[in-house]
Amino acid sequence: MAPEKTVSAESLFKEFGSVPISEFFRKNRQYLGYVGKIKSLTTVIHELVSNSLDACEESGILPDIKVEIVQLGDEHYKVLIEDNGPGIPEKHLEHVFGSLLTGTKFHRNIQLRGQQGLGVSGAVLFSQITTGQPTRVKSGTGKGKVVNAKVELDIKTNSPRIMDKEVYDDTWRGTIVECQFKGVNYTKGQKGPFEYLRWTAASNPHAQIFFKDPEGGKVLFERVSDKIPKRPTEIKPHPEGLESHDLLDMSHKSKSRQISSFLSTDLSRVSGQKVLEIKKIIDEERTKDGKPEFDMRKSPKRMEWGEAEELRLAIKKVKFMAPPSSGLIPIGEETIKAALKNLVNPELLESLTRSPTTYKGGIPFLVEAAIAYGGNAGRETPDGKRLEIMRFANRAPLLFDAGSCALSKSMNSIDWRRYKFVDIENSSVTIFINLVSTHVPYTSAGKQAVASEEEITTEVRFALMQIGRILQKYLSGKRRAAERDAKKKMFERYVPETAKAISNLCGAKVEELEKKLHKIVLERFGEEFEEEDEEETIEETPKTPEKEGEE
């Protein structure tokens, strides 16, 4: 038998070459969240609305956003988004919409909805590959110039192409994006654009959102707060959780002249005293191995892997202050309550904000949670009300991929029976969870699920256990009130007969006896009720993490 012909290495690598990022995403659009007919259309709305909200907030503008979806044919829709934001300068227009992995967000350690430079340009690419049509963009900065143009993306070079560009004088300010998509579907259901905008209104009560659906239906989500969220500030990475490669990469990019100044100026919460503590820990370990002292005067650009590893291990042994909260802008407990009250008008409504902490990489984050019970809380189904879990990351709704999301997993890990809730899944309850961070660890570029970082799941669990205790107290009080009311009614039924019997024995007037007996029942089951409830109140003070972890 003749041996098989050998293929040379030169032949194997004949087609070897780099792949443009736009070409990669054209063939793998699922990484951008464009998978499934319903999810794809909702993802478009998500990307464009998030971009509008970020732009308005960074410019200190109360957002007014208009969303319109028009059906052009079978699985063929036009999407139009208009905002009153700061607009996009003419020289940046083409790169914002026509080049992947470009933007103002990825390189900044700052809290924003988007962070990868894929959102808007990804939507332009998706429109282009499904319809062959460019995206229409109109943008004005309010300074006398308005740009109107068509934009598309050159897939081979990941560069923009501008067509029919028109620039004219006008003081209009804002941005209008109009694009078409095929192979998508609109639904009024739980995963559709309407639900996405409803959730957006819940987490962004300072925004006013108008929506017109393909059937001509109109809805206005009015703003319930005139307070614009504080502008997020860039913050330095926190030392806790930094990996060796993080330290090495940051040191080589640092402008500091010494490792000591690199640690104190490029990282947050690292004082000169903390630098000395780190050096002392490293030197103690080096002494055991007969090595010289660690040179903190060395240029950080000359730092090697082994030195970065020594710094990482020493940092783990030092206690630092929590990361600065100035870089994290939560929605706020009262604002969340105002938004949920406007949407679901529940019987019980409580919210809380956890203190900031960090996850792997020294990235700061905090968790907000709220519970709405009764009223219009929960989601409507053919079988009645069901539990609704509203997941957010930096105020942006996460409608999809719940099964792989750390927020959902944390919710499902709680035994709600411990909080006197036997069947929370089939109840009128809305749970609100918002993860706030300078860098959200999404599981994919589609940004619909949060990765299961241990620190994040722990914080979410603590937040949910706190609102669980609030729910437990409310349900216990409600149950006691019902039992008390039942006993009160039972005694009141026997008041007339009891009054007659006593009258027969002592000769007193029945009417006077009934009044006295009613007063006794009222004193027993009315006035003392509040005092008794207070004595049975469950402690609401949050447990320490160590004690909560023993659950």
The answer for residues whose C-beta is within 8 angstroms of residue 352's C-beta and 6 or more apart is: 333, 368, 369, 370, 463, 466, 467
* Residue 548 confidence (pLDDT) above 80: no
Residue 530's pLDDT is what? 41
- Residue range 201-251, pLDDT digits in tens: 999 999 999 999 999 999 999 999 999 888 777 778 888 878 899 899 999
Residue 530: Cβ within 10 Å count: 8
Maximum average pLDDT range among 55-59, 298-302, 375-379, 507-511: 298-302
Q: Work out the pLDDT band at 513, boundaries 50, 70, 90.
A: confident
Q: Average pLDDT of 82-95? A: 87
Q: Picking from 69-73, 357-361, 388-392, which range would have the lowest pLDDT averaged per residue?
A: 357-361
- Select the more confidently predicted residue: 159 or 393: 393
Q: Picking from 401-415, 418-432, 524-538, which range would have the lowest pLDDT averaged per residue?
A: 524-538
Residue 296's pLDDT is what? 96
pLDDT > 90 fraction of the chain, expressed in percent and rounded: 49
Mean pLDDT of the chain: 83
Residue 66: Cβ within 10 Å count: 18
Q: Work out the pLDDT band at 102, boundaries 50, 70, 90.
A: very low
Q: Work out the pLDDT band at 531, boundaries 50, 70, 90.
A: very low
* Residue 538 confidence (pLDDT) above 50: no
How far apart CA 311 and CA 179 sit, in angstroms, is 50
Which tokens hold the place of 305? 């892997």
Which tokens hold the place of 177? 């994006």
Residue 307's pLDDT is what? 95
Which tokens hold the place of 51? 């971009």
Q: Average pLDDT of 121-141? A: 89
Contact between residue 389 and residue 402 where contact means Cβ atoms under 8 Å apart:
yes
Residue 453's pLDDT is what? 93
Query: Residue by residue, what is the 3-state secondary structure of 24-51?
Result: HHHHCHHHHCCCCHHHHHHHHHHHHHHH
Q: Work out the pLDDT band at 476, boundaries 50, 70, 90.
A: low
Residue 463's pLDDT is what? 95
Maximum average pLDDT range among 16-20, 22-26, 375-379: 375-379
**Nearest by Cα to 321 from 271, 259, 246:** 271
Residue 189's pLDDT is what? 84
- Residue range 243-287, pLDDT digits in tens: 899 899 999 999 999 999 999 999 989 999 999 999 999 999 999
| Whole-number Cα distances in Å, 176 to 142, 147, 173, 184 | 14, 10, 10, 21
Residue 184's pLDDT is what? 93
Maximum average pLDDT range among 57-66, 478-487, 535-544: 57-66
pLDDT > 70 fraction of the chain, expressed in percent and rounded: 82
Contact between residue 158 and residue 99 where contact means Cβ atoms under 8 Å apart:
yes
Residue 141, beta-bridge partner list: 173
* Residue 546 confidence (pLDDT) above 60: no
- Residue range 404-421, pLDDT digits in tens: 999 999 999 999 888 877
Q: Picking from 135-149, 404-418, 464-478, which range would have the lowest pLDDT averaged per residue?
A: 464-478
Contact between residue 149 and residue 163 where contact means Cβ atoms under 8 Å apart:
yes
Contact between residue 475 and residue 483 where contact means Cβ atoms under 8 Å apart:
no
Residue 297's pLDDT is what? 95
* Residue 30 confidence (pLDDT) above 70: no
Residue 545's pLDDT is what? 37
Amino acid sitting at position 90: E
Residue carrying the six token digits 């009891």: 498
Q: Picking from 27-41, 111-125, 482-496, which range would have the lowest pLDDT averaged per residue?
A: 111-125
Residue 540's pLDDT is what? 38
* Residue 178 confidence (pLDDT) above 90: yes
pTM of this structure: 0.75
| Burial category of 240 from C-beta neighbours within 10 Å (exposed 0-12, middle 13-18, buried 19 and up) | buried
How far apart CA 76 and CA 181 sit, in angstroms, is 6
Residue 466: Cβ within 10 Å count: 20
How far apart CA 326 and CA 235 sit, in angstroms, is 8
Residue 361's pLDDT is what? 60
Contact between residue 308 and residue 248 where contact means Cβ atoms under 8 Å apart:
yes
How far apart CA 67 and CA 203 sit, in angstroms, is 17
Maximum average pLDDT range among 4-13, 53-62, 151-160, 316-325: 53-62
Which tokens hold the place of 343? 């949407």
Residue 353's pLDDT is what? 95
- Select the more confidently predicted residue: 235 or 390: 390
**Nearest by Cα to 372 from 426, 421, 432:** 432
In DSSP notation, 109-136 reads: -S--S--SS-HHHHHHHHHHHHH-PPEE
